[in-house]
Amino acid sequence: MRIIFKPIGYVRNPHREVPRHWTVSDLKGELDILPEYEAGLADIEVGQRIVVLFHFDRSEPFEAEHLRQKKRNKNEIKGVFSICSPIRPNPIGFSVVTVLAVGAGRIRVRGLDMFDGTPILDIKPYAEVDRPDPP
């Protein structure tokens, strides 16, 4: 089986450094959407939170030794699927950002943790769900 993704756009981020995770980011930037996908931005609203799925295009290639990795800034070794490392079998990341403006094929956002030029694979609405604590 072969799976192929095409970018729907690219991140525009004027900052050279980015936070390690969207939960600790206040950086502003833009999501530039390619013209053929621009109509899909209809109904995205200012103030809304959206999920951005992207390709870790600058991540080192994944090898079996990366199945267990040291967490950043910690001495713990964890399984790759329990951490947010960009070194993954399929280098797909996601971030939740807040929409500041929408127009002309561009979404201005706050909460970036992606580098300038990062390929965007998809955008989805973010929905917070209150769940009861497990027993």
- Alpha-carbon dihedral 77, 22, 119, 15, rounded to 10 degrees: -110
Residues of the chain with CATH 2.40.30.70: 1-56+91-126
Residue 120, Cα to own-chain centre: how many angstroms?
A: 8
pLDDT digits (tens, 9 = 90+) for 25-55: 889 999 999 999 999 999 999 999 999 999 9
CB contact at 8 A, 22 and 54: no
Confidence at residue 13, expressed as pLDDT on a 0 to 100 scale: 93
- Convert 76-95 to b/e letters by CB count within 10 Å (16 or more is b): eeeeeeebebebbeebebeb
10-residue mean pLDDT profile of the chain (135 residues): values are: 95 89 89 98 96 92 85 80 84 95 96 95 89 68
Q: What is the pTM of this model?
A: 0.87
CATH of 1-56+91-126, one of 3.40.50.300, 2.60.40.10, 1.10.10.10, 2.40.30.70: 2.40.30.70
Residues 114, 54: contact at Cβ < 8 Å? yes
Residues listed for the chain: 135
